[in-house]
Amino acid sequence: MARTAVSYTKLVTNTGVADVTGTTADATNGHTVAKALPEQTLIRVKNTDTNPHNVTVKAGVGLTPAWYSGAGDLVVSVAASSTQWIGPFESARFIQPDGSLAIDLATGLAGTVTAFLVPRH
């Protein structure tokens, strides 16, 4: 299965960023954030369904680069008709072998997924 790509929205120091729509939630295929910078990443999930659903940030695979992947996936519940912010993340736990973050959505979750890149100083 090919995961649905989520592009970064870059937050900018000392200024504002207009709100963005995000990527349509794909509970069938899940999502990926390519060339991820986990410690600088926030994920916003808007659940427009009338039921709560889980979002799973997948632990990395293998020993390199995700040497702490044994801590497992991160599962966060998103309440019905609400928004949940998730992150930032530990590279050592969540980075995938291709340098991405992998996000799975529970069946039935409708709405959007947005990735924000927080600037580093």
Q: Which residues pair with 78 in a beta bridge?
A: 53
Radius of gyration of the chain (CA): 14
pLDDT for residue 102? 97
Residues 6+ apart with CB under 8 A from 115: 6, 7, 8, 9, 33, 41, 42, 43, 44, 101
Average pLDDT per 10 consecutive residues for the chain, totaling 121 residues: 94 92 97 97 98 97 78 96 97 94 98 96 73
